[in-house]
Structures are given as C-alpha cells and as structure tokens.
Amino acid sequence: MIGRWLRPGRFAGLVTAIVPFEPAPSSREITISNHKDMNTVSQSTLRRRYLLACDRLGVPKGRFPYQTRPLHDGSPHVEVLDGLYYVVTERGEELQRRSTHEADELLYWLLQGVTFSLACDFELRHRVPGQDFRRILFTKQLELLRGLDPAGAEESSRDRSHTPPSSVQRLSQSIVDGRSLALPRKLRN
C-alpha cells in the first residue's frame, strides 16, 4: 500500500505506533464509475455545465451561483469526494444530503431548484385571480425543464429519491390540468 505515514508528533502520547492511511481524494477531480464506463468529473466541469444551463434558462449572472462550500443560508452546494454530493445547509445544520455517481443527476438536482425559483417568479408576475397558483407554477417549471432536456421534464414528476403517493400525484396532475378533486373529509376543515 502506497500512502503517507502518520508520525507521532504533537500527540505522541496518544499514538503508540506508526499508522498507515490513504490520502483523501482531491476535491478538484475524482474518477467515478457510472457502471458503463469510467468518467473523470471535476468541479470545474460541473460548474461549466451548470452555468451553461443557467445561461440557457436566461438566469442573470450571479443569481444562482455554483457553490462548493456551505453558506448555511439554505442554498445547495456541491461536494466531490468518493462520489458527487448535493448538500443543503442552513444555520450550521445539514438539512439534506443526496449522493450519486452521475454528473447528470447532480446537475438535475441543482437545476430543479433553479427552475422552481424561476417558475415562482413567473407565476407571481402572471397570477390569475381565482385560479390555483400551482397550475401556472408547475406548468412553467415543466416548460423550463423541457427547454433544457425533454427527459428532464419527465424526471421532475418522479424524483429519484422520493416517489409521492398516488393521491399526491393525482392532486398535482389535476392542478396542472385545471381539474378539481374532492378532498377527503378529514382534510376539508
């Protein structure tokens, strides 16, 4: 095994032997397997692809920056360790951590948040009195995702980390279609 050796120094009383360890992979580049072939993914490659997609969506520069460190404000950041990680932190607490070995999946998670925010802005400017706001919001988000990747729009309805119950799927589809569903008695009041 080739690696560095931990030498007793400041903590000589605690370390009684020389212990081998492997150096951590570089945070700039890591080789990962997507079970088809080996790819090399770097933060710079991910950043470039993310910013190109944001440009394609018409996002003003700097509105949704590509973060590699936590800001602890509820925004996501990307970590490249033994895989790719989408992490959301707020006030020093980690709220969400998703891992993958596919760069496209990580970019989808990042862009899903961007398109949702853009769809919220659009809905607010185009609100129709008496109409459920989610009809415009969901339709616009799907339109934005379709503009990036037609398969990405289908992906948004079935998030890989969570499949909603069929009742939630029916409700969200009815909102997009403009139909109304009767709520169960326990939810009416």
Q: What is the pTM of this model?
A: 0.62
**How far apart, in whole angstroms, are the C-alpha atoms of residue 137 and residue 47?**
27
Please, are residues 28 and 40 in contact by the beta-carbon 8 Å criterion?
A: no
pLDDT tens for 151-176 read 655 655 555 344 444 444 454 455 45
Per-run averaged pLDDT (10 residues), the chain, 189 residues: 36 38 43 44 93 94 95 96 95 96 94 96 95 94 87 55 45 50 44
The number of CA neighbours under 13 Å toward the Cβ of 157 is: 16
- Cβ atoms of 114 and 54 within 8 Å: the answer is yes
For the segment 78-98, what is each residue's pLDDT rounded down to a tens digit?
999 999 999 999 999 999 999
Amino acid at 117: S
Give the domain ranges of the chain: 26-188
Cβ atoms of 86 and 114 within 8 Å: the answer is: no
